[in-house]
């Protein structure tokens, strides 16, 4: 997909500026049980349905200064909650409560496999948003399953979120030029790959218990 050069309040997920950006739907499926790193997760989730979110709506844009990625999906967690409730007031402190969450992953080079979340010498960068008070925005690195750790920093990553009915709307943003030395390189004319994952908190989805896109999606930034 192409991230067009647009103007407008792109950092706002509800902004009308987003109507000018092309829409891509990415099909998600349950992450394979066999890839769960613990015997416990493999056996306890064998009979539990997970990866409930199957469709992620994606838009991308830049304005010459920053890159914006807008993600939207219908959340079974939000469907289950009171529609009148303030989307950001739901208590998540309970020991059995997990947040709705979304992540996008970028490979650093051609050796980084999607299934294994990169490997030694080929890290992947992961941007993650999770609902909550406060909501969580993380810039992470991984070099294989179970290796997630904070990225070096300096990327200037942020996220803004909103909700409409049962749908979450999240915009990730980052300055096009950033000090971080790991990819993705997000500059006008550059291209990269992306993959996605969504966790449904109400279904206790977390870690490898998620829905994910099985293929990389191409992203090119308009000059």
Check residue 41 and report its DSSP letter: H
172 burial type by CB count under 10 A (0-12 exposed, 13-18 middle, 19+ buried): buried
Asked whether position 38 contacts another protein by CB under 8 A, the answer is yes
Q: Which stretch binds another protein (CB under 8 A): 6-14, 39-47, 72-80, 184-192?
A: 39-47
What pairing do the DSSP bridges indicate for beta strands 149-150 and 136-142?
A: antiparallel
Q: Which stretch binds another protein (CB under 8 A): 35-43, 59-67, 116-124, 164-172?
A: 35-43
As a whole number of angstroms, the distance between CA 36 and CA 40 comes to 9
Give, in order, the Cα–Cα distances in Å from 46 to each of 18, 28, 36: 40, 19, 11
Instruction: Pick the binder of another protein from 37, 64, 153, 154 (CB under 8 A).
Output: 37
For the segment 102-161, give every residue that binds another protein (CB under 8 A).
145-146, 148
Given the complex with another protein, which of 72 and 125 has the nearer CB atom?
125
Asked whether position 189 contacts another protein by CB under 8 A, the answer is no
Instruction: Pick the binder of another protein from 11, 188, 204, 217 (CB under 8 A).
Output: 204
Residue 218 structure tokens: 């191409």
For the segment 47-76, give every residue that binds another protein (CB under 8 A).
47
Instruction: Pick the binder of another protein from 16, 39, 110, 120 (CB under 8 A).
Output: 39
Half-sphere CA count of 175, side-chain side, radius 13 A? 8
Contact (CB, 8 A) for 196 and 28: yes
Helix (H, G, I), strand (E, B) or coil at 217: strand
Q: Which stretch binds another protein (CB under 8 A): 15-23, 41-49, 71-79, 215-223?
A: 41-49
Q: Which helix (H) or strand (E) holds 43?
A: helix 39-44
Half-sphere CA count of 97, side-chain side, radius 13 A? 10
Closest separation in Å from C-beta 58 to another protein:
25
Asked whether position 92 contacts another protein by CB under 8 A, the answer is yes
Contact (CB, 8 A) for 141 and 151: yes
Instruction: With CB under 8 A as the rule, give the number of residues binding another protein.
Output: 21
Q: Which stretch binds another protein (CB under 8 A): 79-87, 88-96, 101-109, 156-164?
A: 88-96
Positions that interact with another protein (CB under 8 A): 36-41, 43-44, 47, 92-96, 145-146, 148, 204, 206-208
């Amino acid at each position: 997909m192409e991230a067009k050069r647009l103007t407008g309040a792109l950092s706002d997920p509800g902004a009308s500026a987003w109507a000018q950006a092309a829409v891509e739907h990415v099909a998600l499926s349950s992450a394979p049980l066999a890839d769960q790193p613990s015997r416990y997760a493999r056996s306890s989730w064998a009979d539990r349905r997970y990866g409930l979110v199957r469709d992620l709506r994606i838009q991308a844009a830049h304005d010459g200064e920053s890159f914006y990625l807008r993600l939207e999906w219908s959340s079974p967690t939000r469907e289950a909650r009171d529609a009148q409730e303030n989307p950001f007031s739901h208590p998540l402190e309970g020991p059995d409560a997990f947040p709705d969450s979304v992540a996008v992953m970028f490979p650093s080079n051609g050796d980084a496999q999607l299934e294994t979340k990169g490997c030694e010498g080929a890290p992947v960068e992961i941007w993650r948003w999770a609902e909550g008070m406060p909501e969580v925005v993380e810039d992470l690195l991984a070099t294989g399953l179970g290796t997630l750790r904070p990225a070096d920093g300096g990327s200037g990553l942020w996220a803004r979120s909103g909700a409409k009915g049962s749908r979450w709307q999240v915009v990730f943003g980052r300055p096009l030029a950033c000090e971080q030395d790991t990819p993705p390189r997000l500059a006008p004319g550059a291209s990269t790959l992306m993959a996605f994952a969504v966790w449904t908190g109400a279904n206790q989805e977390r870690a490898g218990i998620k829905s994910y896109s099985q293929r990389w999606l191409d992203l090119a930034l308009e000059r």
